A = this chain, B = another copy of it.
Amino acid sequence: MITLEKIRQRAEADARTYGYYLNPDVDFLQSLLEGLKKNEERYGYPSCPCRLASGIFEFDRDIICPCDYRDLDVAEYGACYCGLYVRKDVFKGKTPLQPIPERRPLEKQLRAYAASSKTEIHKAEQSAAAPPKDEAKQPEMVKKLWYCKQCGYVVFREDPPYVCPICKAKREMFAEIKIQLSLVG
């Protein structure tokens, strides 16, 4: 079972690793953690408490907490989009928290909403017609092996991360690993 304590422990461990802090406003922090718990219970993964998830894992992947945009936002604005993770100067009240623009690409937002509404229609049709045979088929994204040309870090994703978590190289430093196979006759 998912407890609020486990949700908090995960967020704290994540903050410790990246040298971030959780939001110093105790009530606000509590509401964010409760949002994460609700999403984990509803979808099976803790998607961002301040964004609308589609409920389809592959389309929500980039907004599962910590979202793909967090590290860029904390570096640039001192906090992630939600305000869950903040930089030390913001935590200490030395830098005021400013509004953070949504960095999630519009096409990912649209893709998620489009898929989400189709799933809703699909589910509605199924429940009206016959008992559902299996789960609505989850879309499969084409994943690739990417590596950071600077430090060699390897990920298996649809697209490379915005920042290398190991050496902080920018996204442009990632390239695809291709497997070559030659049969010589």
Chain A residues packing against B (C-beta within 8 Å)? 9-10, 12-20, 45, 57, 61, 64, 66, 71, 74-76, 87-88, 143, 145-147, 149-157, 161, 163, 165-170, 173, 177, 179, 181
Which residues on the B side are within 8 Å of A156 (C-beta)?
145, 147, 152, 154, 177
Number of copies: 3
A154 and B150 within 8 A (CB): no
Which of B61, B154, B161 makes the CB contact (< 8 A) with A145? B154
Residues of B close to A170: CB separation below 8 A: 10
Q: Known contacts being A150-B64, A152-B155, A161-B152, is A168 close to B13, with CB within 8 Å? A: yes
Which secondary structure dominates where chain A touches chain B? Answer: mixed
**Identity of the chain B residue whose Cβ is nearest the Cβ of A87 in the assembled complex:** B16
Q: A9-B76, A13-B168 are in contact. Are A61 and B149 (CB under 8 A)?
A: yes
Cβ–Cβ contact A13 & B71, under 8 A: yes
Taken together as a complex, chains A and B put the C-alpha atoms of A152 and B154 apart, in Å, by 8
Q: Which residues of B contact A61 (CB under 8 A)?
A: 149-150
User: A20's closest neighbor in chain B, by CB?
Assistant: B16
Residue pairs across A and B with Cβ atoms less than 8 A apart, 30 shown, are: A9-B75, A10-B168, A12-B75, A13-B18, A13-B75, A13-B168, A14-B167, A15-B19, A16-B18, A16-B19, A16-B20, A16-B87, A17-B17, A17-B18, A17-B19, A17-B168, A61-B149, A66-B167, A146-B152, A147-B155, A151-B161, A152-B156, A152-B161, A153-B155, A154-B154, A154-B156, A156-B177, A165-B166, A179-B179, A181-B181
Note all chain B residues with C-beta closer than 8 A to A15: 19
